[in-house]
Amino acid sequence: MKKLVLALVLILSAQLGFSQTYDSIAPYKKDKNMPTFQVLLTDSTWYSNTTNNHNQPTLIIYFNPDCDHCQHMAASFEKDMDAFKNVNLLWTTYLAPLDELKNFSHSYNLDKYPNVYFGKDPNYAIPAFFRVEYTPFVALYDKNNKLVHTWTLNVSADEIKFSLKNLK
């Protein structure tokens, strides 16, 4: 009887252990639809995957204002914003205060464009969906909110422009 109870306990323990397995495939690799998220913008309004669909491509840029790579990428955008006038650019982070995001956008003159949004993802939805490990992380979605391409680290505006040209 003791052996039967012990075997039953071991089987149940193993079952519980296997039910906690980690899915090694990031959600964006399994689902090409734009994730559900809400980002608090620097003007205290909300940007979401559903409310700000302007029937144009969307570039989600997960960044940190203190990151050198992110700063270089912002500078490359600043030089060529005309190429992105028909693209929603969502620059988002998790930890940085909104004032810091305002300063960052102002430093690179990105706050002058109506299609550029800076904000915080308080629910950590974007980095969880993409399993962001490094910044900047960039995801390009077409006008139908389907994933086209992702980049990690050291991406320039020129590389993204090339992918945008292929959308048309």
Please state whether 95 falls in left (phi above 0), alpha (psi between -120 and 50) or beta: alpha
Kindly state whether residue 110 falls inside one of the protein's structural domains: yes
- Domain ranges, residue 49: 27-165
What gap in Å lies between CA 94 and CA 123, rounded to an integer?
Answer: 8
Q: Which residues pair with 82 in a beta bridge?
A: none
Identify the CATH number of the domain in which residue 109 sits: 3.40.30.10
Supply angle C-alpha 25, 28, 31, rounded to 5: 100
Count of the separate structural domains present in the chain: 1
pLDDT at 7: 56
Q: What are phi and psi of 153, to 5 degrees?
A: 60, 150
Kindly state whether residue 11 falls inside one of the protein's structural domains: no
pLDDT at 21: 62
Give the mean pLDDT per block of 10 residues along the chain (168 residues).
60 57 78 92 92 83 94 93 93 94 97 96 95 94 93 86 83
The 10 Å Cβ neighbour count of residue 141 is: 25
24-41: per-residue pLDDT in tens?
888 888 889 999 999 999
